Structure 1
Amino acid sequence: MSTPLPLGGTDKAAIMVMLLAEEDASKILSQLTPDELRQLAGTMCGIGEVQPQSIIDAISGFSRSTQDSGIGDHGRVASVRRLLSSAVGEVKTENLMRQIAPEAEEEGQPALGLLRWLDPQIIGEILADEHPQAIAVLLLQLDTEVAAAALAALPEHLHTPVLHRVARLGPVSRQAITILEQTLNAKIEKLHGTIPLSMGGIKQAAEIINRSHRSVEKRVIPSIGKVDKKLAKELENEMFKFEHLFALDVKMTGVLLREIENDTLILALKGIEPEQREQFFGAMSSRAADGLRDDIEGRGRVKKTEVEQAQKDVVAIAKRLMADGEIIMGDGDEDYV
């Protein structure tokens, strides 16, 4: 038997996940970000035969029986697919599997092979004359960045109706999927059976808008507000949350802090992790930061509703400062978190 190559951190993590029961592994995978899932699942599919010595290296003190068993690579892609599906759902799983195992063709496995080959610009050109409902279904089966690029390639008059449907889509029947099949000239066999999928939502629509050009937000939100004021408000709230302020640099954070009352700041920071507060402390003098730390600790337990309101107040101030051009999020005034 050849000497196993040294294992990296991702290799060790992949081995550990593969040694767990699927239910336990799914719980762990559900806590990962899309990038982490893509990296880990890709390693799980591509690591090949895992020798006993590699297991020993990855998991110190593992049982002798496990050390001697290794992990075979037969059916690996199917196993990874089941784990991901349980953790993040079928739609996200299919999107990930197309990226990490595009050549895997297993009997009975669904595939949206077309999405592997289409450039976002081409998607936009093909769908330019299609119904917004069909476009919305397609965008929701793409990575957010790809969906944003595809949206940008569409005529501007489609942006509002498409994003409105992304946010309000709900259950999607097989007929909607069929529209995509006919439009894109690809065959989707038993992708989701006869069970409709719960797709779209405020969060997904907000993410697409956030990753689009700033002009899309400025144009689309008011347009949606004319036909659905409640949805426009929900989108605005989802697009800019307190955690988005973590993207501010030290200078911009300092500008923001000067506009916030001390009591509001104490309550707002009370609701985040200690390490996350360091961004705000770093924009203050050492003396002021130490005083704020003491104030936060001395406040004791506070109601969640008070914390949430304080964070909303801070976000409102940040939005006002952004509108006035006093703070900038990202690399320039056309960027938005």
Structure 2
Amino acid sequence: MSAAEQIDAGGSITSNDLPAMSRIERAAVFLTLLGEDEAAKLLSRLGPGELERLGGAMCELGEINQNGIAEAISDFVTEADREVLPARNRSGQVRALLTQALGETKAESMMQRIEPESRPRSIEMARWLAPKVILKLVEGEHPQVIAALLLMLEAESAAEVLSCLPEQAQSEVVGRIARIGPISPQAVDMIDNLLSQRIGASFGASSLMLGGPREAADLINLAAGEVRNTVLPAIAQIDPSLAEAIEEQMFTFEMLLDLGPQEMGRLLRDVDNEALVDALKGLKDSERDPFFAAMSSRAADGIRDDIELRGRLAKSDVEAAQRKIIETARNLADQGEISIGADDGEFV
């Protein structure tokens, strides 16, 4: 007797009473049955819309009984029996194989010779942007351009962008989508250039850049466990200057705002008043409160007066003063007198 039959015999819910899972739910169950590496490889092949739907389904899964597991596996076997390998992300698969076989440099050279024309980078970036951000990028643009771009986005994102357009523009864009036909490579390049310009104008040139010491530092600060104590020494062995740049970004002046009055008071005992005035000059009034809370009212009033009398300061002078205080705080943290940075212990 199966588990489902045993439940039925006991007078509880039968398998027939349970609602059948949707395709997305069966896929979510199947992924939970895989190891993390295998599941990650499968997820890496999905687009943003698919990832959002599948990730949501995985988060909503409750306890999965044997019937649910069997249903998910059966669905996978049925799909496998179709004996069709989809062409999606084939270039990415080839690139990964060539990189493993030839190394990154030779693989990239080979891909430039054999890879079909890929999606321009700004259009690819747009596929990952929130619809409200995309709406801002195409604001005031010709309906033909908007129509072409929407056809290159995930359907759900394109629909949300469309719904936020003015009513007159909606009908024009939908009409052009229905009639648009083939899009020439020149038109695609034009849209890509337009997006690059709009992204740069709206968010600054840095929005086209990914990664950097600050992003690496943020990841290390958010990571659990001993990542901080193992990653930086390993990087320092390969590139000491890079490790130093990351470490500088791991501890920011804003972290000092989280110090309690006692620890802040300990820090201020080692800080020169001139450096403190210059450093606080670059903060908003509310951000100065943690420093003033650790002082006597008389000392705090004196620092406030000095800040007002200081006049305008160059940003470089403010940053230099803040770096000086940061270094003092790091030394105190190394000595175990204050704790800063992560919530699971001292900053090292």
Structure 2 length-normalised TM: 0.42
Report which structure shows greater RCO (CA 8 Å, sep ≥6): 1
Which of the two has higher C-alpha Rg? Answer: 2
Structure 1 length-normalised TM: 0.44
